[in-house]
Structure 1
Amino acid sequence: MSKKLLEGVKVIELANFIAAATAGRFLADQGATVIKVESAKGDPLRFTAPSEGRPLDWHENTTWELENANKLNISINTKSEEGRDALFALLEDADVLITNWRQGPLERQGLDYESLKKRFPKLVYAICTGYGENGPDKNLPGFDFTAFFARGGYLETLRQKSGLPMNVVPGTGDHNVGMNLAAGILAALYHARETGQGEKVESSLFETAVFNLGMAIQAAQYKDIGKAFPIDSSDYDNPLLSSWPTKEGRYIQTCMPNYNQYFKVFIATIGHPELADDERYFPIQNLQANGLGPELHKLISETFKTRTVEEWRTPLVEADIPFSLAQSLTDILDDPQAWDNDCFTAFEYENGNTRTLVHQPVRFAEQGKPVYTRGRFPGEDGPEILRQHGYSQERIDKMLADGSLYVWSE
């Protein structure tokens, strides 16, 4: 295997939960040395298992692996003088700092960008927040349920007009933000290597959601054209952008954004060739002028109910209609497309259990398959990391005794 893409890059991750950790995980996967700084209490992410429907077991913590595989871990009390000194020792030769701390704590401990750039001018300083660094709500606590899904427009846009907002899954918005942050870090890291000047990189849950829904948000300016979200799927401007119930109660989603391109082929494929040349339904301008979108939607929906998913698959594939079964999470675990593209790895825990773990979604041709090493326990690598930074064993023992350095044990 060739040299890892980021081998030789050193990253300090001063962050908890998911978004910032996602960026750190990406850099670690590409060969960077990522040192996660964790408090003695433990990252709150270590305790979220009951909310996710899995066992609360630090020795088999699938969420922790997803966000923190391939990293080292040191647990220091940054509020103590010795702990803060240790953190600055780690930063002396670091290329990147990733954090999701709020501005107040960062400033109180001298860890804000303006303070650190004076001491470490080449450092790439990456921060992710809930709502961005400016504005009246910049200091609010931000999670993807609130700052991304709710404030960012997902819940009100993606629900049926007649129904509740959709259920949301933790980590979805965070993963978006983390990968955005990683992209910014790489651009700033290139700049730092070329010029010797560091940079501050920022992304947030709210800003990412606004970008993700950018097409719909921009279109919302044209209030006299189209329909405002939320919309029932039966009333879409283009009824071919819908989910259809099948005979066994599953759903098939179709996507034909250019109605006029697909309508004739699609309507014949599902068994209604007599409508292909019906000027009431084609082109889309006639459909909309006649107000027949809901009627066409009902006809298609009733037609799909007459066959199973498997019975629909062949004709839709042969007609080159863009579609997919609405898969459950357990469907995805068994999806050969996911396995063949290295979305997953079979990971064996020390307790003997083998679990399916998810890789990040970027592949490199010359790097080989992604490698998964388990996320570390709090402070597991701390003494060795400090030894590598010139700390004597005597000083390390003193820090362990006074609590400025911590190593987790059973």
Structure 2
Amino acid sequence: MTKKKALAGVTVVELATFIAVPAAGRILADMGANVIKVESLDGDNIRYTAPTEGRPVNPHEDTTFDLENANKRGIALNTKTAAGQKILFELLEKADIFLTNWRPKARDRAGLDYKTLKQKFPHLVYACVTGYGDTGPDQDLPGFDYTAFYARGGILGSLYQKGTMPMNVIPGLGDHQCAMALASGVLAAYIHAKNTGEGEYVSTNLLHTSIYTQAIMIQAAQYKEHGQPYPIDRRTTTSPFILAYKTKDDRFIQICMPVYDAYYSKFMTCIGREDLAQDARYTHLQDVAKHKRSPEVYDIIWQQMAQKTVKEWREIFMANDIPFSVAQLWEEVLEDKQAWAIDTFYRMQYANGSEKALVRPPIRFLESGLPDYQRGPLLGEDTPTILQELGYSADEIAKLEASRDVSVWRE
């Protein structure tokens, strides 16, 4: 017998596009919530990003849309008409949680600001993600993770090899971290609402999330008399035991031994430099840093790592319990046995006969088990059903569709 999901019986209305908020809605949907995704008649913009990701454009096989919107139902609604607005507020009346990524001024214009909705629905948990937050001079700037998370937050300007150029960034990294932060806040607010009958406003943003993600080093940057200002030359970094090194077969292995002194002798022996295992010049990181010998140790490791292949180093490091990982390519990640063993992926069988590996959110419940992975709704696919649940007749739904207040999926 399948056990009841944690959020069974909870209704969520999601009015959002792209990634961060829909990803939070996906997490709640996986937990059993009835998540109703409200889209414009043109649809969520994420439906049209396939070319920039190197995928074919196909509404019946849209891996990105399904990643962010699996297990939801969808209604296509014109929120600019009186009839469309009425339907939206009817949905909110029945909702426990409202998710949005509209910017503050846009919410104000539409009467969807927290103050207005709190008066109408005092029990409602209202949650949002923005690029830069709800206050301050930049609150209404458009925010994407490329700009607010990577660039403004300090990642692009700091975390690259000195003398080169910033990394090539990818979509979703900041958005998914925002999604997990928002989901955790929403769940706490929902518990509060259930206990008190009082709603709450929950928010996060890409800028704050980026800064929090890097908080250790951003805080440390205040000690200007210590360490090195970023970007740095990896060869001269304080500890050569937390870097990636190239192997004989042109792959990279990342090692991570934060307590340098504890690993020094063992690691030097592993890489074939037993002669240096007790060399007083290198055994203690404090002395290495004081005498600026980090480049010497780096060069030694670089030279040694180039003598063997990834396969050979993997065997040596695993046998000696050295913390490491091969820098895998995405194609290799898709075949990673450990990732499959922990149910990171799901084999999605599309109606067109295609099978693709789709990623699950990294949250797992033992008792209620893994959620099903139902594809995201086609644009307006569930419009009739959702309207019927609100009490609309077939004739009324047909009139709404004819007047472009709603749309219904048609092949």
Aligned to 1:71: 72
Matches within 5 A, 1:332-371: 332-371=333-372
Any idea what SS the aligned residue of 2:171 has? Answer: coil
Counterpart residue type for residue 156 of structure 1: G
Aligned to 1:190: 191
8 Å contact from structure 1 (residues 359, 370) kept in 2: no
RMSD: 0.8
Q: Distance in 2 between matches of 1:293 and 1:115?
A: 59
8 Å contact from structure 2 (residues 156, 166) kept in 1: yes
Aligned to 1:16: 17
Q: Distance in 2 between matches of 1:207 and 1:348?
A: 38
Q: Distance in 2 between matches of 1:121 and 1:232?
A: 54
Structure 2 unmatched runs, 5+: none
Aligned to 2:287: 286
Matches within 5 A, 1:161-200: 161-200=162-201
**TM-score, structure 2 normalization:** 0.99
Ranges of 4+ aligned residues in structure 1 off by more than 6 Å = none
**How many residues are aligned here?**
410
Q: Distance in 2 between matches of 1:213 and 1:385?
A: 42
Q: Distance in 1 between matches of 2:56 and 2:236?
A: 43
Q: Distance in 1 between matches of 2:350 and 2:254?
A: 37
Matches within 5 A, 1:4-403: 4-403=5-404
Counterpart residue type for residue 165 of structure 1: P
8 Å contact from structure 2 (residues 104, 139) kept in 1: no
Cα deviations across residues 67-88 of structure 1 (Å, max 9, x unaligned)?
A: 0000000011111000000000
Q: Distance in 2 between matches of 1:54 and 1:91?
A: 35
8 Å contact from structure 1 (residues 37, 74) kept in 2: yes
Q: Distance in 1 between matches of 2:243 and 2:163?
A: 16
Counterpart residue type for residue 213 of structure 2: N
Q: Distance in 2 between matches of 1:321 and 1:137?
A: 46
Cα deviations across residues 34-86 of structure 1 (Å, max 9, x unaligned)?
A: 00000111111000000000101111110011000000000111110000000
Counterpart residue type for residue 77 of structure 1: N
Any idea what SS the aligned residue of 1:12 has? Answer: strand
Any idea what SS the aligned residue of 2:138 has? Answer: coil
Q: Distance in 2 between matches of 1:166 and 1:370?
A: 35
8 Å contact from structure 2 (residues 178, 204) kept in 1: yes
Counterpart residue type for residue 312 of structure 2: E
Q: Distance in 1 between matches of 2:266 and 2:18?
A: 48
**TM-score, structure 1 normalization:** 0.99
Q: Which moved more, 1:112-121 or 1:261-270?
A: 261-270
Any idea what SS the aligned residue of 1:240 has? Answer: helix
Shift of 1:346: 0.8
Counterpart residue type for residue 10 of structure 2: V
Q: Distance in 2 between matches of 1:103 and 1:225?
A: 41
Q: Distance in 1 between matches of 2:379 and 2:192?
A: 33
Any idea what SS the aligned residue of 2:201 has? Answer: strand
Q: Distance in 2 between matches of 1:236 and 1:321?
A: 20
Q: Distance in 2 between matches of 1:264 and 1:133?
A: 52
8 Å contact from structure 1 (residues 23, 181) kept in 2: yes
Shift of 1:369: 2.5
Q: Distance in 2 between matches of 1:235 and 1:148?
A: 27
Shift of 1:393: 2.2
Matched residues, percent identical?
A: 50
Any idea what SS the aligned residue of 1:193 has? Answer: helix
